[in-house]
Amino acid sequence: ADVTTVTAFLDLAVCPVSYDAVVFIEQAAMEARRQKADRLYVCVVGEPRVKPQYDAAEAAWRLWNIVLPAANLFGARVMLAADWLQAERIASVKDWKNWPADWREQTLSNRRHLIGGVVRRHREGEEIVRPRASEHARRKVSALFLGRRVVTMTARATSYLDARNTAAREWDAARQAIMDCGFYVRTIRDVDRALSIGEGFEELSLDLRMAMYELADFNIVANCGPASMLWFSERPYVMCDAGVVEEEWKGLFVDQ
């Protein structure tokens, strides 16, 4: 039987090397479902954009530890093209469907890594594609939880905008109050903080992080990249500490 394949081209010159890739892949997965595709390939191509918040070395680390693993959460295969010539050869495969339509000429004026595109599709009747951890990750996290009632708290501590960082005293008080209600609280550190102190379980693995969110009774998350994993999940959560100016709040949380 013929197999329908959608290939989504994630252009690193447009999509940041961050959890924005989760939003891009969500929209690609929705497109694959719309086309009734049997499989989704995510082709990552281009040189990562270096931003004031991180240099080229950190951008490369983010590529291998955030962007590429994100595809697995949606059951997609992922490939890292050496350059645009290889990407064009992949795009030329007979009967494969390429997405987006301007895959070779993507610009910052039409960013598929913003949540607005997902919202628009959903309002037009398309279903959200739920990210899901691997069965192995779920088994490991289940063994860690030991049948306890769990609340996760995903903190943020190293944002370049201090207002986005979680208030340690308030979060500590909240953690204690939740524990007093009989829950086991799993604190998920900022990735940079976990790396700096030589630790990391769910902080350094998207698969384990997703499993933890899925198996917890409730999730509390700061305004940070990993929140995008919860946006598309069916698990209950609340996102706190937006820490953005009014104009950015309107652009990100209202317009989008």
Tens digit of each residue's pLDDT (9 = 90 or more) over 3-18: 799 999 999 999 999 9
The rounded distance, in Å, linking the Cα atoms of 164 and 36 is: 40
The rounded distance, in Å, linking the Cα atoms of 158 and 189 is: 10
Type of residue at 168: A
In 3D, which of 254, 239, 231 has the Cα closest to residue 73? Answer: 231
Q: What percent of the chain has pLDDT over 90?
A: 78
Average pLDDT score over the chain: 92
Residue 21 has pLDDT above 90, yes or no: yes
State the pLDDT confidence band at 83, using cuts at 50, 70 and 90: very high
Residue 229 has pLDDT above 90, yes or no: yes
* String of DSSP letters for 148-183: --EEEEE-----SSGGGS--HHHHHHHHHHHHHTTP
Please tell me the total number of residues recorded for the chain in this structure: 256
Q: Are 14 and 108 in contact (CB under 8 A)?
A: yes
Tens digit of each residue's pLDDT (9 = 90 or more) over 230-243: 999 999 999 886 66
The rounded distance, in Å, linking the Cα atoms of 241 and 250 is: 15
Q: What is the pTM of this model?
A: 0.92
Q: What is the pLDDT of residue 253?
A: 66
Q: What is the pLDDT of residue 244?
A: 67
The rounded distance, in Å, linking the Cα atoms of 222 and 188 is: 10
Cα torsion at 233, 81, 191, 186 (round to 10°)? 30
